[in-house]
Structure 1
């Protein structure tokens, strides 16, 4: 179960890194073109990293619950 928890932590860290990277790039885009208000497109990489982060959270929760049930 420790391996499952570690994998979950790694997935969450990857998700956080991608989130911070995309937030920084979106902030720079907004600063450059404040006069142009265009809808923000979410990239496929960001969507996938968000799903991996959710999977990481579920892995950590499962690694806490399964030992309690056994």
Structure 2
């Protein structure tokens, strides 16, 4: 079960890294031209990493909490 929770932690870290990178790139676009607000298009890569982050949360729940019940 430790391996399951470790994989979940890694997936959450990947999701967090992509989230921070995406927010940084959006902030840079807003700084270049604040009068023109770009419509935020969520890329397929970010959708996939967000789902992987949710899977990581579920793996952590299964790896830590369920065995204690």
Deviation of 1:35 (Å): 1.0
* 3-state SS in 1 of match to 2:35: coil
What's 1:66 paired with? 66
Structure 2: segments with no counterpart, 5+ residues: none
Runs of 4+ in 1 over 3 A off after TM superposition: none
Q: State the shift of 1:68 in Å.
A: 2.2
- Uncovered stretches (5+) of structure 1, i.e. residues with no partner: none
CA deviations over 1:16-51 (Å, ceiling 9, x no partner)? 110111111010011112111231111111111111
For these two proteins, the number of residue pairs brought into alignment is 69
> SS where residue 35 of structure 1 aligns?
coil
Q: TM-score scaled by structure 2? A: 0.92
